[in-house]
């Protein structure tokens, strides 16, 4: 699959629909396919953490979640076809999954949130099969792994926050035995109605980050990574 190298991380050149087909294709696999929806923070984190970089290199699919990555593709002269956010990817999978008997497990977010998210989603997508739910503030991984293996989902959605979720899946991939695991960040909070997503027009203009900044101003420190990231991409490209 064609990928572009963004500061040492391979980001796949896929549209949302191509990503959906790929993920559905993985659901018959014996090994765990990790799907990463990457943003500038993830890429910058991989520059400081060799182990994390290795995990990203072994992911089955890395999509461009943030507009920052789309801009980076343009700077590098290798444009990505579009943004493929975690939330859009899983929404399309919920639509497709019902008819195919795909089972989803919801792991992560504060107690009660995954349950509400799963309930809202089964109302919206009547064919959706929820294999199980578990909040993301557990102390021991053992019992969680046991619950997941017993539930035998095809697709494990992991909302433990960027970095943590990918590491957790990778560390436990053998024990998990799920065909697909997707890191979905704060998506359960959105599906549960706790957090609103930016209006479509802002998403289209690539301003979702601005909406998030206005709603959750305390995140500004995390967002400062965007200009740093773009500067790095530009500097590396021009060998400065
Ligand atoms: N979270 C969790 N366990 C943790 C830390 C975080 O389940 O130990 C959840 C948190 O409740 C939230 C999600 O992970 O639902 C992270 O959301 P955020 O929007 O910060 O996602 P990110 O931008 O880090 O991917």
Whole-Å CA distances, 101 to 66, 95, 126: 30, 11, 12
Q: How far is CA 108 from the centre of its chain?
A: 13
Considering only CA atoms, which residue is closest to atom 4 of ligand 1?
Answer: 160
Count of structural domains, the chain: 1
Q: What is the CA radius of gyration of the chain?
A: 17
Give me the pLDDT at residue 137, please: 98
- Which domain range does residue 150 map to? 3-237
Instruction: Report the chain's mean pLDDT, rounded to a whole number.
Output: 96
Give me the pLDDT at residue 240, please: 76
Give me the pLDDT at residue 226, please: 93
List, chain by chain if needed, residues with CB within 6 Å of any ligand 1 atom: 108-110, 136-137, 159-162, 185-186, 188-189
- Please work out, in degrees rounded to the nearest 5, the angle formed at the alpha carbon of residue 41 by the alpha carbons of 4 and 92: 70
Cβ neighbour number for residue 97 with a 10 Å cutoff: 23
The pTM for the full model equals 0.96
Give me the pLDDT at residue 98, please: 86
Cβ neighbour number for residue 227 with a 10 Å cutoff: 11
User: Over the stretch 193-224, which tens digit does the pLDDT of each residue have?
Assistant: 999 999 999 999 999 999 999 999 998 888 89
134 Cα: distance to centroid of ligand 1 (angstroms): 13
Which atom, in ligand 1's list, is nearest to the CA of 195? 19
What average pLDDT does range 159-183 have in this prediction?
A: 97
Give me the pLDDT at residue 187, please: 97
Give me the pLDDT at residue 131, please: 98
Residue labelled with tokens 């975690």: 86
């Amino acid at each position: 699959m064609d990928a572009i190298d963004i500061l040492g991380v391979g980001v796949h050149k896929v549209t949302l629909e191509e990503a959906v087909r790929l993920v559905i294709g993985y659901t018959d696999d014996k090994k765990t396919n990790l799907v990463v929806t990457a943003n500038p923070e993830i890429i910058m984190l991989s520059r400081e953490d060799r182990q994390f970089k290795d995990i990203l290199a072994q992911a089955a699919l890395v999509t461009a979640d943030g507009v920052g990555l789309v801009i980076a593709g343009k700077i590098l002269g290798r444009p990505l076809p579009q943004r493929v956010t975690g939330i859009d990817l899983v929404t399309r999978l919920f639509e497709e999954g019902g008819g195919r008997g795909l089972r989803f497990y919801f792991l992560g977010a504060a107690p009660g949130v995954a349950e509400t998210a799963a309930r809202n989603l089964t109302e919206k997508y009547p064919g959706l099969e929820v294999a199980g739910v578990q909040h993301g503030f557990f102390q021991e991984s053992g019992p969680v792994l046991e619950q997941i293996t017993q539930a035998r989902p095809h697709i494990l959605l992991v909302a433990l926050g960027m970095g943590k979720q990918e590491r957790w899946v990778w560390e436990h991939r053998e024990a998990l035995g799920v065909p697909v695991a997707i890191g979905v960040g704060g998506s359960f909070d959105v599906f549960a109605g706790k957090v609103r997503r930016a209006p479509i027009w802002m998403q289209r203009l690539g301003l979702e980050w601005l909406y998030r900044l206005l709603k959750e101003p305390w995140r500004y420190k995390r967002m400062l990574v965007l200009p740093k990231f773009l500067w790095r991409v530009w500097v590396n490209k021009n060998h400065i």
